[in-house]
Amino acid sequence: MIVYPLGSGASVEEQITGEAEHGGLQFIVYPMRPEAYERMCAVRASSRMVFASEVDYIAESPAMGLAAGGRMRQQIYDDPYTFGDWDTQHSHRCFVHLVNATAWRSLTGETPPQSPCTVEQYVRAGLPWFDYYNADLAVLDGSDVLRSVKSIGQVTEGVF
């Protein structure tokens, strides 16, 4: 995925909904029911899984969205838990706002990175490098709606 200004028609959101309303990423999270959570904890206690800590940043920035393109590998795996394991009556929404280079500088006081970090840079900084832990699971078919999304190259063809 590529970060691109909203309003250009290139973001996945704009291609699917026809509007540039939210940008960034949005997650809706449903908690596990207590009995399912206890089962999961028992399994995790016997494995070596790493979890990221929660960080909350808010900054003023031009609206940015995600456009299709780049080299990210995207796969969808079946949820190993049953639908009944999730408490769908309670949810939390999380917004991840994307920032451009100017907002990065304003937030961090540092020059923005010129290229993505490598695995070695993550390790040297003491950060976990995430990869999917259950690569033996079957990959599910993607959405027909998402399959119709054009890449940034297709959307901007002839613009530059």
pLDDT tens for 65-119 read: 778 776 656 677 888 889 999 999 999 888 887 888 888 888 888 888 877 778 7
Give the C-alpha separation, 127 to 53, whole Å. 11
pLDDT at 86 (0 to 100): 93
CA distance linking residue 23 with residue 64, whole number of Å = 5
State pTM to two decimals.
Answer: 0.53
Q: Which sequence spans correspond to the domains of the chain?
A: 2-155
Query: How do residues 69-78 score in pLDDT, each as one tens digit?
Result: 766 566 778 8
Q: Hey, CA dihedral for 69, 126, 75, 9, is it positive or negative?
A: negative
Around Cβ 98, how many Cβ atoms within 10 Å? Answer: 19
Whether residue 52 has pLDDT greater than 60: no
The token pair at 152 is 């940034």
Total number of residues shown for the chain: 160
